[in-house]
């Protein structure tokens, strides 16, 4: 798929997008069998819309929710309500707890790519050529190069750095559940418009990637965020109180540090926002999980700042 083709799909009216999404889901169910397909459910708005569309096609479709232990209370409340309403949800709990993951492997800081690069440079026995590529780039460019502003993290900072929390808390328990339940394909709510990485992946495969080692369907991959909210409004769909009560833009793991530096360009990072929405969770991160020191080391604020003041300083 070309970028122009994706743009064309993203510009379609919602009613056409819904029809295309339904067709991709039916193709998935027909290819693997309706009882060999499951929807990955996070309790967030995107997967809420996805599950609603899937259940209109096959009401008893299997739904997987992985409770990482880093979920907002409102997310758990939403999932349990849906399960009580008859949604065919399996709730899976990983073997490791988040506190154990960051102690054994390290904190998920800055971005997945930067955490991976830091982990490699700090812990692995790299060739001189590859190490120099990660530090300085090469003749092909700076892809994968560690940004200068984070090179101080190569020294002793008092904590480990790693992107492995998602593997331990989501991917491994999900893979185990799929094997136990004979799931051949997973339907996810990933959208190309969410990030450059997801856009790149979508351009390679489109909605249905059935030839992968782990077949996946992304039937709302060409939707935009405004489509999600329009669908929610049109279908009077109940979503998590994270959105309705606390006006959050995202849910997911409340302690995730990926992307917090980007959030600080226009306001407060998501960890600091917990001071108002979930003060107990904020205190837990700061005092029990050493977030105050970690955030200080990677250049993040641990206090709220007035947005107007931030703009004036710029």
Q: Specify the CATH number for the domain of residue 174.
A: 3.40.50.620
| Contacts of 94 by beta carbon, 8 Å cutoff, 6+ apart | 66, 68, 69, 168, 169, 170, 172, 173
- One-character DSSP codes across 147-184: PGGGGGGGS--SS-B-STHHIIIIIHHHHHHHHHTT--
Looking at the fold, whether 126 and 14 belong to one and the same domain comes out as: no
Dist CA 41 CA 50 (whole Å): 8
Dist CA 216 CA 77 (whole Å): 27
| Contacts of 271 by beta carbon, 8 Å cutoff, 6+ apart | 255, 257, 260, 282, 285, 291, 295, 300, 302
Tens digit of each residue's pLDDT, the chain (314 residues): 999 999 999 999 999 999 999 999 999 999 999 999 999 999 999 999 999 999 999 999 999 999 999 999 999 999 999 999 999 999 999 999 999 999 999 999 999 999 999 999 999 999 999 999 999 998 888 878 999 999 999 999 999 999 999 999 999 999 999 999 999 999 999 999 998 889 999 999 999 999 888 999 999 999 999 999 999 999 999 999 999 999 998 899 999 999 999 999 999 999 999 999 999 999 999 999 999 999 999 999 999 987 545 445 54
Dist CA 172 CA 267 (whole Å): 34
Q: Is residue 219 part of a domain?
A: yes
**pTM tops 0.95, yes or no:** no
Q: Is residue 249 part of a domain?
A: no
Q: Is residue 102 part of a domain?
A: no
Looking at the fold, whether 152 and 171 belong to one and the same domain comes out as: no
Of 101, 97, 81, the closest CA to residue 89 belongs to 81
Domain span holding position 261: 254-314
Provide the CA 134 distance to its chain's centre, in angstroms: 25
Looking at the fold, whether 239 and 258 belong to one and the same domain comes out as: no
Q: Is residue 120 part of a domain?
A: yes
Q: Quick one: 156 exposed, middle or buried, by C-beta within 10 A (0-12, 13-18, 19+)?
A: exposed
| Contacts of 311 by beta carbon, 8 Å cutoff, 6+ apart | none
**Cβ atoms 196, 5 nearer than 8 A:** no
Dist CA 226 CA 70 (whole Å): 27
Count of domains observed in the chain: 3
The gap between the terminal CA atoms of the chain, to the nearest Å, is 40
**Cβ atoms 187, 38 nearer than 8 A:** yes
Of the CA atoms within 13 Å of residue 18, those in its CB half-sphere come to 16
Looking at the fold, whether 86 and 187 belong to one and the same domain comes out as: yes
Looking at the fold, whether 258 and 177 belong to one and the same domain comes out as: no
**Cβ atoms 276, 283 nearer than 8 A:** no
Quick one: pLDDT at residue 312? 52
Looking at the fold, whether 211 and 80 belong to one and the same domain comes out as: yes
Quick one: pLDDT at residue 28? 97
Q: Is residue 132 part of a domain?
A: yes
Neighbours of 31 (CB within 10 A): 15
Q: Long-range contact list for 102-107, CB < 8 A, 24+ apart?
A: 102/159, 102/160, 102/165, 102/289, 103/160, 104/160, 105/160, 105/162, 105/164, 105/165, 105/168, 106/159, 106/160, 106/161, 106/162, 106/164, 107/159, 107/160, 107/161, 107/162, 107/257, 107/294
Query: Among 122, 145, 161, where does a domain finish?
Result: 161
Quick one: pLDDT at residue 309? 55
Q: Is residue 173 part of a domain?
A: yes
Dist CA 103 CA 240 (whole Å): 31
Give SS3 for 234: helix
Beta strand pairing call for 208-209 and 216-217: antiparallel
């Amino acid at each position: 798929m070309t970028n122009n083709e994706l743009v064309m799909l993203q510009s379609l009216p919602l009613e056409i997008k819904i029809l295309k999404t339904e067709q991709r889901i039916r193709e998935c169910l027909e290819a693997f069998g309706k009882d060999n397909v499951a929807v990955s459910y996070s309790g967030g708005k995107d997967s809420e819309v996805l599950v609603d569309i899937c259940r209109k096609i096959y009401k008893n479709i299997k739904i997987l929710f992985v409770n990482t232990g880093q979920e907002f209370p409102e997310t758990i409340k939403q999932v349990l309500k849906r399960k009580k309403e008859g949604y065919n949800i399996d709730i899976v709990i990983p073997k490791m707890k988040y506190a154990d993951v960051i102690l054994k492997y390290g904190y998920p800081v800055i971005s997945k790519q930067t955490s991976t690069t830091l982990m490699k440079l700090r812990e692995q026995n790299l060739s001189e050529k590859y190490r120099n590529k990660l530090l300085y780039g090469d003749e092909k460019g700076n892809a994968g190069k560690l940004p200068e502003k984070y090179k101080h993290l190569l020294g002793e900072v008092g904590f480990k750095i790693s992107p492995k929390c998602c593997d331990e808390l989501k991917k491994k328990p999900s893979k185990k559940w799929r094997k136990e339940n004979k799931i051949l394909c997973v339907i996810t709510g990933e959208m190309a418009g969410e990030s450059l990485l997801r856009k790149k992946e979508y351009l390679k495969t489109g909605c249905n990637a059935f030839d992968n080692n782990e077949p996946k369907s992304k039937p709302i991959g060409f939707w935009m965020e405004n489509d999600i909210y329009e669908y929610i409004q049109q279908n009077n769909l109940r979503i998590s109180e994270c959105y309705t009560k606390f006006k959050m833009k995202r849910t997911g793991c409340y302690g995730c540090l990926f992307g917090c530096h980007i959030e600080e360009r226009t306001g407060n990072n998501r960890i600091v926002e917990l001071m108002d929405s979930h003060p107990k969770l904020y205190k837990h991160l700061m005092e029990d999980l050493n977030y105050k020191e970690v955030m200080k080391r990677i250049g993040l604020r641990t206090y709220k700042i007035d947005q107007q003041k931030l703009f004036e300083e710029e």
